[in-house]
Amino acid sequence: MLPLTGITVVTLEHAVAAPFATRQLADLGARVIKIERPGSGDFARRYDESVHGQSSYFVWLNRSKESVTLDVKSPHGREILHELVDRADVLVQNLGPGAADRLGLAAAAVRERDPRKIVLGITGWGGDGPWAGRKAYDLLVQCETGLVSLTGSADEPARVGVSVADIAAGMYGFSAVLTALYRRQVTGLGATLEVSLFEALAEWMGQPANYTAGSGRQQPRAGARHATIAPYGPFTARDGRTVLLSIQNEAEWTRFCAVFLKDPELAADPRFATNTLRVADRDALEAIVDARFAELDGADAAELLDQAGVANAGVNTVADFLDHPVLRERGRWRDVGTPGGPVRALLPPISLDGVEPRMDPVPELGRHTADVLAELGRSPEEIADLSARSVI
């Protein structure tokens, strides 16, 4: 039995943040009933068509869920929605500002009917405050938190290449629900939970925020180099292969000089004697490291770094990652069904001893509507009538 077997989640979700939170609950065995708009569904279904004609986002975020189409603005649709919520343990929503209230699903109203309910709202900028009514998309949040000012090259800022604000909010939403389920088990009380994209990513900005507040200056954009540690970044070997290396402490610096650079006296050079000095004189230091890499092929450079006990990595493409030996040899891939055909999907990163996570299919739009309505006592004739009236 999976850890969350017996827990039912009803979710009014779209895009990334809430679907990521609920997919992780589904991975652990929760029954996740995803309410979608008839005819179109979660708009993330149409972000792209790269996976057997389906969206790469939707396939990633929605396995093991049940898709129920429902016009929640219609009286019959809203009645069904409330029946589903009444039967659920957890309600999740990342609708626009005020939408849950208009549906009669404000957290206070839901928990007044059932104090054991756990209600999670994922917002852009917080449920109150001066920006509560503003739209929030991932890149907007990256910009407002200052993250974009830290990424990219010295000449140009850049977006982080994945939806990091959405992912952060989804992770905090997932952990918040788990915390609330534990508390309910102990106290019998549910919880009202809120996570905003902005505040989730703001937490991840803790180090640069402290650096700027403490030093009075912002750490510079440094491309693939670390802004405040040196040497820590990519170097190109004689054969064109790029190797990224990371020096984390003085013992590693000393070994790096002796084993890789073949210049043990450099470790005590007053220009480079501490990390702060190495960062300040980064150009001179990297010129020395570049010259050594120019003498070596990439494989030989990586071997020497390993001998020195210095962390290093290849700078992979996504195609390289898909064939990574760690994922292959650790058996991290599984086949997951989708309406367009099977795809490979990674096991969740949380490994529980003796537990195989659920990796059920990604649902086609409305795949489970009739089954769920039958559970609520609707007859085949009633279900057919609801479909004819576009309620489902």
Look at residue 1 and tell me whether its pLDDT is greater than 90.
no
**Above 90 in pLDDT, residue 154?**
no
Q: For 200-214, what is the mean pLDDT? A: 96
Active-site hit among 14, 76, 82, 226: 226
- pLDDT at position 222 is 86
Predicted confidence (pLDDT) per residue in 12-70, tens digit: 999 999 999 999 999 999 999 999 999 999 999 999 999 999 999 999 999 999 999 99
pLDDT at 388: 95
Question: Residue 291 above 90 pLDDT?
Answer: yes
The arithmetic mean of pLDDT across residues 262-274, rounded, is: 95
Residue 389 has pLDDT above 90, yes or no: yes
> Residue 136 corresponds to which tokens in the numbers above?
């929030």
pLDDT for residue 236 = 96
List helix spans (H) across the chain.
17-27, 56-61, 75-87, 99-102, 107-113, 138-144, 164-187, 197-204, 206-215, 250-255, 275-280, 282-293, 298-307, 318-322, 325-329, 369-375, 380-388
Which 3 state secondary structure label does DSSP give 194?
strand
Q: Per residue in 51-60, pLDDT tens? A: 999 999 999 9
Residue 211 is predicted with a pLDDT of 93
pLDDT averaged over the chain?
96
Q: Residue 243 pLDDT more than 90? A: yes
Q: CA 160 to CA 238: how far, in whole Å?
A: 30
Distance CA 181, CA 185 (A): 6
The larger pLDDT score, comparing residue 153 to residue 363, is at 363
CA 357 to chain centre: 18
Work out the average pLDDT over 276-300.
Answer: 96
Res. 237: pLDDT tops 90? yes
Token couple for 354: 């003796």
- In the predicted model, what is the mean pLDDT of residues 204-218? 95
Q: Is 324 a catalytic residue?
A: no
| Residue-level pLDDT at 377 | 96
104-142 per-position pLDDT tens digit: 999 999 999 999 999 999 999 999 999 999 999 999 999
CATH numbers and ranges of domains, the chain? 8-204+331-388 (3.40.50.10540), 232-314 (3.30.1540.10)
Residues 6+ positions from 211 with CB-CB distance below 8 Å: 218, 219, 228
pLDDT at site 294: 96
**Which of 292, 320, 321 is CA-nearest to residue 308?**
292
Q: How high is the pLDDT of residue 76?
A: 95
